[in-house]
Amino acid sequence: MTAAPETLERENRLQALQRFLVDNPVVVLVGVLVLLFVLTDLVNRHEAGEPFVTWNQLSTTFLVAAPLGMIAAGQTLVMLTGGVDLSVALTATAAAFATAWQGGNGTAQGIVAGLAVGLGIGLVNGIGVGVFRVNPLIMTLGTSSVTFGLLSIYAGRAFEKVVPNLVETLGSDRFFDYLPANLILWAVLAAILILGLRYTGYGRMLYAVGDNAVAARLAGVRVWQVLVVAYALCGLFSAFGGLLLVGFTNNPDLGLATPYLLQSVAAVVIGGTSIFGGWGSYSGTIVGVLILTVLGSLLTLLDAMEWQRQVIYGSIIIVLTAIYARVSAPE
Amino acid sequence: MTTVPADVVEFRGAAPWRRALRLHGWTIAVWLVLLAMVPYWRSLSQQDFKFDVQALAIDAMPLCFAAMAQAVVVISGGIDLSIGSLMAVINVLSAREMVDMSFRQALAFSLLLILLAALASGFTGLIITLTRIPDIVVTLGMLFVWQGVALWIMEIPGGGVPLDFSNLALGNVGSTSIPNAAAVVLVAWLVLWLPIRWLRPGLAIYAVGSSRNSAYLSGIGVTRTRVGAYLLAGCFTGLGGLALSASSGIGDPNSGTTYTLNSVAAVVLGGVSLLGGVGGLIGVIAAAYVLTMSKIVLLLRGTDPNYANVYQGVLIILVVVVGGLLTRKTRT
């Protein structure tokens, strides 16, 4: 019986490690990201004969990841409340169109038009979900189908599309050769979000509502206001993402942000934010976004087809949610 | 003297027709709405009645099946977002394989596809019950998976179906003026839903949807019932995919996109509560016709088709909002 305390201790240590990893999924995720980088590097060396991990590629990875980072930021907020926003991609596209439409009348007007469209769609979602208690999936699917209808009407009409220079700079330029302009914007947003979620009253209310809306209401939180603000912010962040995208491609089209819908949900889920709400962080989402971006490069290197990407991302969502639900379930 | 709750008194004392009205009021109302829309729809159209009815039935058929599939899942307490994309998978698979088939072969192959869709949907249900992740998350993932599979089977619209197979959707029953498209929906309801509805499995579906815990405590196999509901929904989804092939004559990997949202709208409009356990398929079928007719009416009025989509989207949101408010009041 002398071995018992030792085994117990080891078990305790294992349990402590497990609890640490469950509480800080970012640690595991960064490991996965590094592994993925190395794997991509190996594949690239094999296929193209040159390394993938270079300063230039690293900078490109961030440049490509930033729009998704913005859109996934909004998705994180909404998913923390226990909902999901399926209109992010079309909100981003609509914002891009609005910017290009008003861009001829001045940079400020273009950007304000884009952001206003995003905020407007977000508000409609928020009012539907928060005030009328429509299921978030159905509400956001509905607004995205309305947005798509309106967009296909206006996109069909001939108008001068001017993407303001500032937007273009933000979306595609790099300072000092390696520092993407949009990374600066993303870093600022990330800092505000991470600190805001942890230290402001609104941040705490967001977690409270997601964890248990009834308890939050009984504790005096106006749940509907928290929801409206969360969805409005999601619309706004999606609009930011759309602006960065149109700054990158310089030409708005209807399919501009389509792939970002699935990827934003996948990024948040990979980042360890619970799809049931009340648990997670934006730092996890950031790593999730980078993982998806590197995975995207890897899939491109391997000549993956569009359908394979869809199946892979869809499976990631299901499998990871199952794993997270299993590990973080109370004993 | 013992006091009896007021609603029990009313329940005992009420005339049978009153009870029927309370149970089926919504379904009756939806059918009345459908009937009320008919004169307006007729007044806009230049075609003869027979042609119009047939066009309506053909247009509504895939939505009817999608809505029936959604209704079964919703009644059992879940929701299935992957119906549209699974329909697209069946659509492209049938269109790719049936091009050179004879009518008989195509029919046999259809049965196989319906079975396949049922298994695929049952698989989704199995994932949901085994992992205990909410329906919404799993079916959202499956929405993308099936979309990918549909693209894999057929990248761009193409393929075809035998002429006689198309006729299952486009023709009339014998020499009557009853469109095949409506008859097929009716037969599917009679064969697939009615027997189950009146036997133990149907009762179990309603019980599980109404309260999973009470159903479990009453000795109902909750897991079995939920997976069964997904299996049955898969049959309807498969029929929906085949309906798309028969009515359009081709396969299109993007053909299913609108059916996810529209099926939910038809379910809510048809009187099935999204909370589960309430409603039936007859109202849902009427709701699918109402939604289709509202689209046709908009088009007949000369509305830009894109605007018609916008109006329909707004209408769907309104239906869900109002329906949600009403069912919440009646239930609590």
Neighbour tally for B278: CB within 10 Å? 19
The predicted pLDDT at position B117 comes to: 94
Q: Tell which of B132, B317, B331 to mutate to test the A interface (max A CBs under 10 Å).
A: B317
In angstroms, the CA A79 to CA A283 distance is 14
The predicted pLDDT at position B67 comes to: 94
Cross-strand bridge partners of residue A174:
A180
Q: Using an 8 Å Cβ cutoff, are A234 and A85 in contact?
A: yes
Q: Using an 8 Å Cβ cutoff, are B269 and B315 in contact?
A: no
The predicted pLDDT at position A331 comes to: 41
Tokens of A223: 């749940």
In angstroms, the CA B325 to CA B115 distance is 37
Residues in chain A: 331
The predicted pLDDT at position B332 comes to: 36
Name the band, by pLDDT with cuts 50, 70 and 90, for residue B331.
very low
pLDDT tens figures, B137-187: 888 889 889 988 998 988 888 888 887 788 777 777 777 778 888 888 898
Nearest to B132 among A265, A309, A325 (CB): A325
Cβ–Cβ contact B92 with A under 8 A? no
pLDDT by residue, tens only, chain A of 331 residues: 455 666 667 777 888 877 777 777 778 888 888 888 888 888 888 877 777 777 888 888 888 899 999 999 999 999 999 888 989 999 999 999 898 888 778 888 888 999 999 999 999 999 999 888 888 888 888 898 889 888 888 877 767 777 787 777 777 777 777 788 888 889 999 999 999 988 998 999 999 998 888 888 888 888 899 999 999 999 999 999 999 898 888 778 888 888 888 889 888 988 888 777 888 889 889 998 998 888 888 888 887 888 888 888 888 888 887 887 777 655 4
Neighbour tally for A22: CB within 10 Å? 13
Asked whether residue B309 carries a pLDDT value surpassing 80, the answer given is no
Tokens of B330: 């009646």
If one compares B67 and B308, the residue with the highest pLDDT of the two is: B67
Radius of gyration for the alpha carbons in chain B, expressed in angstroms and rounded: 20
The predicted pLDDT at position B327 comes to: 60
pLDDT tens figures, B198-255: 888 888 999 998 888 888 888 888 899 999 999 999 999 999 999 999 888 888 888 8
Asked whether residue B11 carries a pLDDT value surpassing 70, the answer given is no
Nearest to A134 among B148, B152, B324 (CB): B324
Mean pLDDT, chain B, integer: 84
Nearest to A132 among B136, B304, B325 (CB): B325
Q: How far is A240 from chain B (nearest CA, A)?
A: 25
The pTM assigned to this predicted structure is 0.81
Q: Using an 8 Å Cβ cutoff, are A91 and A242 in contact?
A: yes
Query: Which residues, including other chains, have CB under 8 Å from residue B43's CB and lie 6 or more apart?
Result: none
Cross-strand bridge partners of residue B158:
B251
A132-154: buried (b, 16+ CB within 10 Å) or exposed (e) per residue? bbbbbbbbbbbbbbbbbbbbbee
Rounded average pLDDT over B30-36? 86
If one compares B327 and A272, the residue with the highest pLDDT of the two is: A272
Query: Which residues, including other chains, have CB under 8 Å from residue B326's CB and lie 6 or more apart?
Result: none
Answer whether B81 sits within 8 Å of A317, measured CB to CB. Answer: no
Cβ–Cβ contact B304 with A under 8 A? yes
Neighbour tally for B47: CB within 10 Å? 12
- The dihedral built from the CA positions of residue B140, B145, B146 and B148, taken in this order, carries a sign that is positive
DSSP codes joined into one string, A57-88 = HHHHHHHHHHHHHHHHHHHHHHHHTT---TTH
Cross-strand bridge partners of residue A180:
A174
The predicted pLDDT at position A221 comes to: 86
Task: Report residue B47 CA to chain centroid gap.
Answer: 28
The predicted pLDDT at position A3 comes to: 53
Ramachandran assignment for B115, one of left (phi > 0), alpha (psi -120 to 50 degrees), beta (any other)? alpha
